[in-house]
Amino acid sequence: MKYKFLFLFLLITVSLQAQEMIQISHYLFPDFQSGVVLMKNGVRNNAKLNYNTASEEMVFDENGKYLAIGDVLLPQIDTVFISNEKFIRVNNKFVKIIFDEPEISLFVEHKCRLIPPGKPAAYGGTSQTSSAASYSSIMADGKVYNLKLPDDYKFKPYNVFWINRNGKLISFSSIGQLKKIYRDKKKVIGDYLKKNDVKLTDEKSVEDVIIFMENN
C-alpha cells in the first residue's frame, strides 16, 4: 500500500480539468484503455493509459484527470502494456515494440507536428507562426493534454523507427535513411522498393521490408 501511494505521487506531473470525451486527435489510441505499468523491480501498476504524441508522454486517466508519468519515475519503468501493445524506453523516449529478436529489433516512436493557426497577413492571406512558439504556448496552458486540440490547431502524425541491429541502435524517418542503413545491399533494397509500396505511416510495410532485408 505504501509503494502504491508513492507510485501515484511520483506518477503525477500535470493535473488537468477533465473534459467531455468528444474526440481524441493527438493521442495514439482512440480512448484511454486498461493497461499495466511494469516496474523494473517487478511491481505491476494497473491504470487507464494512452500515449500523447504531441507531448510524447505516457498519460493516464486518474478519476477523470489526465496526468503524465513523472520524470522521477521514468527510469524505473521496464515496460508499459496498453491493449495488445508493449512500450519500452529507448533513448529516453517511449517506443512501441514491433518485433524484438536477439539479433534485430524494430521499434516505432509515434510523434506528431502541431500546426498552429495562421496569423492575418497582407492581402487577406495568413502566415503560420513558428512551431516552437506554438508548442510552447499550447503546453503552457495545458491544451496539449486535452482530448481534443483547439479547433484552430491541426496536427500531422508521423513515425520515427528504431532498429537495434547487432547491438547498434539506428533510427530512420525517411525511405532515404532506410536505404542508407542497408547501403551494403543497395540493389536488393532498390528492387524491393520498386516492387513494394513502403510507407512510413504503415508499420506493417516497414516491418516487411526490414524482415526481407535481414533475410536476403
Do residue 11 and residue 82 come from a single domain? yes
Q: Is residue 21's pLDDT more than 60?
A: no
CB 47 within 8 A of CB 58: no
Do residue 132 and residue 205 come from a single domain? no
Do residue 54 and residue 136 come from a single domain? no
pLDDT at 36: 96
Residues 27-40: tens digit of each pLDDT: 899 889 999 999 99
Do residue 138 and residue 162 come from a single domain? no
Per-residue three-class SS string for the chain: CHHHHHHHHHHCCCCCCCCCCCCCCCECCCCCEEEEEEECCCCEEEEEEEEECCCCEEEEEECCEEEECCCCCHHHEEEEEECCEEEEEECCEEEEEEEECCCEEEEEEEEEEEECCEEECHHHCEEECCHHHHHHHHHHCCHHHCCCCCCCCEEEEEEEEEEEECCEEEEECCHHHHHHHCHHHHHHHHHHHHHCCCCCCCHHHHHHHHHHHHCC
Residues 61-95: tens digit of each pLDDT: 888 888 888 888 899 999 999 999 999 999 889 99
Do residue 148 and residue 187 come from a single domain? no
Do residue 17 and residue 48 come from a single domain? yes
Do residue 191 and residue 151 come from a single domain? no
pLDDT at 143: 56
In a domain? residue 98: no
Do residue 78 and residue 37 come from a single domain? yes
> Span 8-15, mean pLDDT?
46
In a domain? residue 96: no
Rounded to an integer, what distance in angstroms lies between the CA atom of residue 163 and that of residue 178? 10
Q: Is residue 15's pLDDT more than 50?
A: no
Nearest to 50 by CA among 39, 65, 38, 34: 34
Do residue 151 and residue 161 come from a single domain? no
In a domain? residue 161: yes
Do residue 12 and residue 54 come from a single domain? yes
Nearest to 156 by CA among 22, 32, 25: 25
Rounded to an integer, what distance in angstroms lies between the CA atom of residue 100 and that of residue 182? 19
Do residue 204 and residue 108 come from a single domain? yes
Confidence of residue 144 (pLDDT cuts 50, 70, 90): low
In a domain? residue 130: yes
* Residue 142: domain span: 116-155
Q: Which of these ranges, 1-5, 88-92, 162-166, has the smallest mean pLDDT?
A: 1-5
In a domain? residue 68: yes
> Span 153-180, mean pLDDT?
91
CB 173 within 8 A of CB 160: yes
Q: Which of these ranges, 111-115, 129-133, 187-191, has the smallest mean pLDDT?
A: 129-133
In a domain? residue 95: no
pTM of the model: 0.78
Mean residue pLDDT across the chain:
80
Could you give the number of structural domains in the chain?
3
Do residue 79 and residue 151 come from a single domain? no
The strands making up 93-100's β-sheet, listed across from edge to edge, are 65-68, 57-62, 44-52, 33-39, 77-82, 85-90, 93-100, 104-115, 154-165, 168-172
In a domain? residue 11: yes
pLDDT at 198: 95
pLDDT at 102: 84
In a domain? residue 94: no
